[in-house]
């Protein structure tokens, strides 16, 4: 019990996806709360006391595309099965249930691409749709003149205008500089997408897609591409041949600056991912203390101390709601900062060159 906890508290998503022992050991034991599976990506959406809704599976292999409505349908087909049913002999005709959700071909041919919809992807789509559903009507209003020629009407319009003006005036303008209006659409998109993804994690049964390294890595890759493509000549000059310093220092500075190109988006991705993943792990770990106390000291202590842990969980939950906004803000402002740093022109920074 305590060992499972020691392991589960420490792990973050992508190191455990391949960890077979942990994934297979956890669900079968009684009294075990699998903390890490709450932030892992699944092929189902967990509506916990009610049941699971399996998501469609979509494979591409040597025979072409295969589409199944759910994992159960996939493993009951003749071509695919769950990994654990390969070794065991199951009675013929019985309906198999997915256990590991790791689908393989029955003839052991490799599945080339697995395009299956996962819970993180589903909630990513929800956030994207929500962003579109909010901003397309808003754009129509502005095109019709409401908000530009007249006052914004209603709570919905006013609320989001506040956010948009905040991103434009407090994030884009001071950090990017004179050409900021070109990048404001990207920054707004990233801000609201990350915000909605973070907030979906606070809802019951919700999953925050930003607790997945692939989602944050793709977002950071976008910032990386925009930074490199909009970079000025001086940006590259400062990386490859730093002006105004002696020759040997240039040799030292070149690798440092070159690695710096890649560490910036890397830290963007890791920061968002670790913050969102750790919040949920923390909540379940604190709730798990009740179960640890139950094992160590008996049920009376567990019952008596549970209000403390539930209040602490509430506190962490409120912190997490705050972090959802802070991390969306930090990702956006750092993106703006990196873009702005890459766009700085020569004469704006070079008073020191002649010293």
User: Does 11 engage in binding with another protein (CB under 8 A)?
Assistant: yes
The C-alpha atoms of residue 355 and residue 180 are separated, in whole angstroms, by 32
Q: How far is the CB of 39 from another protein (least distance, A)?
A: 13
Contact stretch for another protein (CB under 8 A) within 13-21, 72-80, 156-164, 305-313: 13-21
CB atoms within 10 A of CB 319: 14
Residue 90 tokens, joined = 């199951």
Q: How far is the CB of 172 from another protein (least distance, A)?
A: 12
Q: How far is the CB of 271 from another protein (least distance, A)?
A: 5
| Residues facing residue 58 across a β-bridge | 67
User: Does 45 engage in binding with another protein (CB under 8 A)?
Assistant: no
Closer residue to another protein in complex, CB, 152/279: 279
| Chosen residue from 174, 185, 243, 298 binding another protein by CB under 8 A | 174
User: Does 344 engage in binding with another protein (CB under 8 A)?
Assistant: no
Binding residues with another protein: total (CB under 8 A): 19
Closer residue to another protein in complex, CB, 16/127: 16
User: Does 157 engage in binding with another protein (CB under 8 A)?
Assistant: no
Residue 9 tokens, joined = 């508290």
Quick one: which of 76, 78, 56, 77 has its CA closest to 67?
56
Site for another protein in 287-326 (CB under 8 A): 326
Site for another protein in 125-154 (CB under 8 A): none
Question: Are 212 and 198 in contact, with CB atoms under 8 Å apart?
Answer: no
Site for another protein in 254-283 (CB under 8 A): 267, 270-271, 274
| Chosen residue from 121, 194, 333, 339 binding another protein by CB under 8 A | 333
User: Does 21 engage in binding with another protein (CB under 8 A)?
Assistant: no
| Residues facing residue 52 across a β-bridge | 46
User: Does 341 engage in binding with another protein (CB under 8 A)?
Assistant: no
User: Does 330 engage in binding with another protein (CB under 8 A)?
Assistant: yes
Quick one: which of 129, 80, 133, 131 has its CA closest to 107?
80
The C-alpha atoms of residue 234 and residue 332 are separated, in whole angstroms, by 24
Closer residue to another protein in complex, CB, 277/302: 277
Q: What angle do CA 129, 132, 138 make, to 5 degrees?
A: 145
CB atoms within 10 A of CB 295: 12
Pairing mode, strands 51-54 and 64-68: unpaired
Closer residue to another protein in complex, CB, 90/169: 169
For 132-171, letters b (16+ CB in 10 Å) and e give: eebeeebeebeeeebbeeeebeeeebeebeeebeebeeeb
Interacting residues with another protein (CB under 8 A): 6, 10-12, 15-16, 19, 170, 174, 267, 270-271, 274, 326, 329-330, 333-334, 337
């Amino acid at each position: 019990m305590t060992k499972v906890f020691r392991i589960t508290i420490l792990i973050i998503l992508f190191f455990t996806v391949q960890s077979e022992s942990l994934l297979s050991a956890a669900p079968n034991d009684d009294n075990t709360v699998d903390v890490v599976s709450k932030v892992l990506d699944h092929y189902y959406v967990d509506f916990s006391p009610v049941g699971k809704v399996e998501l469609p599976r979509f494979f591409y292999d040597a025979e072409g595309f295969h589409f199944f409505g759910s994992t159960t349908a996939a493993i009951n087909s003749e071509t695919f099965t769950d990994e654990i049913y390969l070794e065991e002999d199951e009675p013929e005709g019985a309906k198999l249930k997915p256990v590991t959700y790791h689908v393989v071909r029955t003839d052991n041919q490799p599945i080339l691409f697995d395009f299956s919809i996962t819970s993180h992807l589903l909630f990513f789509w929800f956030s994207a749709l929500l962003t579109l559903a909010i901003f397309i009507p808003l754009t129509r209003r502005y095109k019709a003149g409401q908000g530009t020629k007249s006052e914004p009407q209603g709570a919905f319009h006013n609320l989001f205008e506040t956010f948009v003006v905040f991103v434009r005036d407090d994030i884009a303008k001071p950090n990017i500089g004179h050409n900021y209006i070109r990048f404001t659409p990207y920054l707004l998109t990233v801000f609201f997408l990350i915000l909605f993804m973070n907030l979906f994690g606070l809802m019951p049964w919700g999953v925050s897609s930003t607790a997945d390294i692939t989602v944050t890595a793709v977002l950071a890759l976008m910032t990386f591409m925009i930074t490199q493509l909009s970079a000025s000549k001086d940006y590259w000059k400062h990386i490859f041949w730093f002006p105004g310093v002696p020759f040997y220092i240039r040799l030292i500075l070149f690798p440092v600056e070159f690695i710096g190109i890649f560490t910036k988006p890397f830290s963007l991705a890791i920061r968002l991912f670790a913050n969102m993943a750790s919040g949920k792990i923390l909540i379940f770990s604190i709730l798990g203390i009740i179960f640890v106390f139950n094992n160590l000291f008996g049920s009376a202590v567990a019952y008596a101390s549970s209000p403390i842990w539930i209040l602490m969980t509430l506190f962490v939950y409120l912190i997490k709601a705050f972090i959802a906004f802070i991390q969306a803000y930090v990702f956006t402002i750092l993106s703006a900062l990196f873009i702005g740093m890459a766009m700085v022109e020569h004469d704006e920074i070079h008073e020191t060159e002649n010293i």
